[in-house]
Amino acid sequence: METATFAMVHVGQSTVHQRNLQHGIETRSWGFPIRKPWFEQVKPDFALLVTGMNPRQQLDDWVQKTVDMYLFAVQVPVYEGQAPHWPDELATGNIIYPFRMGLEPLGVIENASLGEDGPLTLAASDAARHSGLERGVGWLADMDPQPFLDLAKIPVNWAETGRVPLNRAPGFTAEAVKGVKVPKRQQRGAGWMSDPKKRKAVEMHAEDWAVRLYESEGWDVERIGKPYDLRCTRKSGEERRVEVKGTTGAPTSVELTINEIEHARAVENTVDLFVVSDIKVTPEYVASGGVPLHLKDWEPSEEDLRPRKFEYRLPQAGT
């Protein structure tokens, strides 16, 4: 049996906590209110967010219950965020959950037992309970991830691969969270925002950062827009094209169009990906700060892409 390290996290049942869960799913992020020693020592393989049961009960009673489990791959280990991100943070302008990690949704397991007849070990079940007793701070547990992958219908043999390709996992959106109405908008990737002015401020802040960086390296920079953001040239004739993304969340995943993917994969193009995460935006839509991630000679691989939309060819009349 191959084991993996899980960050076990209990999510409360209040409307505030459930909306934070929705926002965390949408923006591929989760945060903790206080520091734990493992933050600097361990990068978990998975995060398991459990919700639907009050943790203030004895372990013997706890293991008789069921919960909903949200399985994530941990893409970014715990870091200290600099900008308000969750709904209750944005409402007050204060950072409530400063210690954050970047997550990629893999699958949902509904009505899963907290006892030994479910996928959890007894130690992991107790870790989830203790997380709830400590206001949702993560507790670590080592266990075999295969039962979770099987229940989430992810066709991966963990003992052979030791990882979960994104294109093999169904994923999930905020609509998977029960009991709280999800706004009627299309679910997007990391850091996506429904406020167009805020989204534009984040995009321009990231793009301005990329322009400054390439100009400092001696490139002449032209803003293009589509199918890529920046065209960088030198007098020698060298050309480099840049796709820029910005997010207020963790640098976990970004949304790409099919044109952006095909452009990056074309052999005649040299393409970089420049992402700025953890961007702060004021109520006046002034963006600042952030953490850059610069991927040179970028070519998105199939296993790191998850399709969100498909083109369907309609049958022709009379056939």
CATH at residue 280:
3.40.1350.10
Residue 203 inside a domain? The answer is yes
What's the longest Cα–Cα distance across the chain?
72
Residue 253 inside a domain? The answer is yes
Tell me the sheet residues that pair with 66: 113
Dihedral angle at the C-alpha atoms of 105, 107, 113, 115, nearest 10 degrees?
A: -60
Q: Are 96 and 88 in contact (CB under 8 A)?
A: yes
Write out the two tokens for 50.
Answer: 């459990």
Residue 182 inside a domain? The answer is no
**Region of poorest pLDDT, from 4-8, 46-50, 130-134, 279-283:** 279-283
DSSP-derived secondary structure for 139-204: EEEEE-SHHHHHHTT----HHHHSS--GGG-----GGGSSSSPPPSS---STT--S-HHHHHHHHH
What average pLDDT does the segment 290-304 reach? 94
Q: Render pLDDT for 225-234 as a digit per residue (tens, 0 to 9).
A: 988 999 999 9
Contacts of 234 (CB under 8 A, 6+ apart): 218, 219, 220
CATH code at position 144: 3.10.590
Write out the two tokens for 29.
Answer: 């992020």
Residue 310 inside a domain? The answer is no
Q: Are 100 and 84 in contact (CB under 8 A)?
A: no
pLDDT of residue 313: 75
What percentage of residues in the chain have a pLDDT greater than 90?
72
Residues 158 and 245 in one domain: no
Residue 186 inside a domain? The answer is no
Kindly tell me if the per-residue pLDDT of 26 is higher than 90. Answer: no
CA 286, CA 307: separation in Å to the nearest integer?
33
Q: How many CB atoms lie within 10 A of CB 1?
A: 7
DSSP H or E segment with residue 77: strand 66-80
Residues 145 and 226 in one domain: no
Residues 66 and 208 in one domain: no
Q: Render pLDDT for 76-125 as a digit per residue (tens, 0 to 9).
A: 999 999 888 888 888 888 899 999 999 999 999 999 999 999 999 999 99
Write out the two tokens for 292.
Answer: 């850059």
In this prediction, residue 315 has a pLDDT band, given cuts at 50, 70 and 90, of: confident
Domain count for the chain, please give it.
2
In this prediction, residue 71 has a pLDDT band, given cuts at 50, 70 and 90, of: very high
DSSP character at residue 70: E
Integer CA distances (angstroms), 313 to 113, 258, 310, 316, in order: 42, 17, 10, 9
Contacts of 80 (CB under 8 A, 6+ apart): 98, 99, 100
CA 97, CA 88: separation in Å to the nearest integer?
10
Kindly tell me if the per-residue pLDDT of 267 is higher than 90. Answer: yes
CA-wise closest residue to 85 among 290, 308, 256, 292: 290
pLDDT of residue 181: 60
**Region of poorest pLDDT, from 42-46, 124-128, 233-237, 309-313:** 309-313
Domain of 107 in residue numbering reads as 4-176
Residue 75 inside a domain? The answer is yes
Residue 64 inside a domain? The answer is yes
pLDDT of residue 83: 84
pTM listed for this prediction? 0.85
Q: Render pLDDT for 155-204 as a digit per residue (tens, 0 to 9).
A: 999 999 999 999 999 999 888 897 666 554 444 444 445 688 989 999 99
Place of tokens 């397991």: 109
Residue 309 inside a domain? The answer is no
